[in-house]
Amino acid sequence: MNKKHYLLYLALPTLLLLQNCIKEKDNVIPGVTKVTEHWGYEHAESWGGISGNCAGVIQSPIDINTSGTAKDTDLPSLQFSYSSFPISIIDNGHTIQVNTNTYSAANTVSYKDKTYQLKQFHFHAMSEHTINGEHSPMELHLVHAADDGALLVVGLMIKEGTANSMIDRVWNSIPDMENKEEQRTITINVKDLLPAMQGYYSYIGSLTTPPCAMGLSWFVMKEPLFLSSAQIAAFRQLYDHNYRPVQPLNNRTVHEKP
């Protein structure tokens, strides 16, 4: 093997990871449109036959055992910079997803001097991550991508409480047909979903749907997002089992910022 071929061999895993960071209309969409083979949550254990990544050792979601996290008060905070944008929404057959359809620098999160653009957010019921073995009724994922293709996903556990007015605008905008993205004139600001206290659990994981690309930075916020029982029920009338079971931790470290 000559030097050129050897360097290409070394770079191949990174190239494959970037290839699996699916983009549609320049919005990161976790595996839904790229994977041509049918997949469903009722047979999540067989996803390795769709994409080998799904049988990998760095998979998400996980159970976060709070007694085993590495607690560090010096961990940096996530620096959110969100502004209003018009809803572009799709029922893709696996979840309800809102795309930003914008390159505006105003919708970003920064961590350790690296900035990631918000590409989309979507919902799961029940939660995909568990805390000390317990699910929440739902989970929200905010998917961000850096210019180099690196992904950072912020997870918000959703629990029952008071209604969130921004979620009302999202639910009222859901298209009548699957797989048809529709643009709305009403605007939303994702900062309306963020908790006041921004402690988090962080670890390296994967997309939670095929192709299950690995190497993502996950941040699961410690404080939940509260929705009313009616708002939770409205989503679960559409999707009440669109969550992947927790995956083995495989000696990964979960960091905790108090």
Which domains are present in the chain?
A: 3-257 (3.10.200.10)
Closest CA to 64 of 256, 236, 217: 256
Could you give the CA distance from residue 200 to residue 223 in angstroms, rounded to a whole number? 8
pLDDT in tens, the chain (258 residues): 544 344 434 444 443 443 443 333 433 443 334 666 889 999 999 999 999 999 999 999 999 999 999 999 999 999 999 999 999 999 999 999 999 976 555 799 999 999 999 999 999 999 999 999 999 999 999 999 999 999 999 999 999 999 999 999 999 999 999 999 999 999 999 999 999 999 999 999 999 999 999 999 999 999 999 999 999 999 999 999 999 999 999 999 999 999
What percent of the chain shows pLDDT beyond 90? Answer: 83
* pLDDT of 38: 85
Q: What is the DSSP string of 73-135?
A: TTSPPPEEE---EEEEEEE-SS-EEEE-----TTSEEEETTEEEEEEEEEEESS-SSEETTB-
Could you give the CA distance from residue 31 to residue 92 in angstroms, rounded to a whole number? 11
* pLDDT of 33: 41
What does each C-alpha distance from 27 to 79, 97, 119, 145 come to in angstroms? 21, 11, 5, 9
CB 137 within 8 A of CB 232: yes
Q: Which residues are catalytic?
A: 94
Could you give the CA distance from residue 69 to residue 256 in angstroms, rounded to a whole number? 6
* pLDDT of 151: 96
* pLDDT of 248: 98
SS3 of 7, please?
helix
* pLDDT of 58: 97
| Helices and strands of the chain, counted as H and E runs | 3, 17
Q: Tokens 């360097």 map to which residue?
A: 7
197's tokens: 């206290």
62 phi and psi, to 5 degrees?
-135, 165
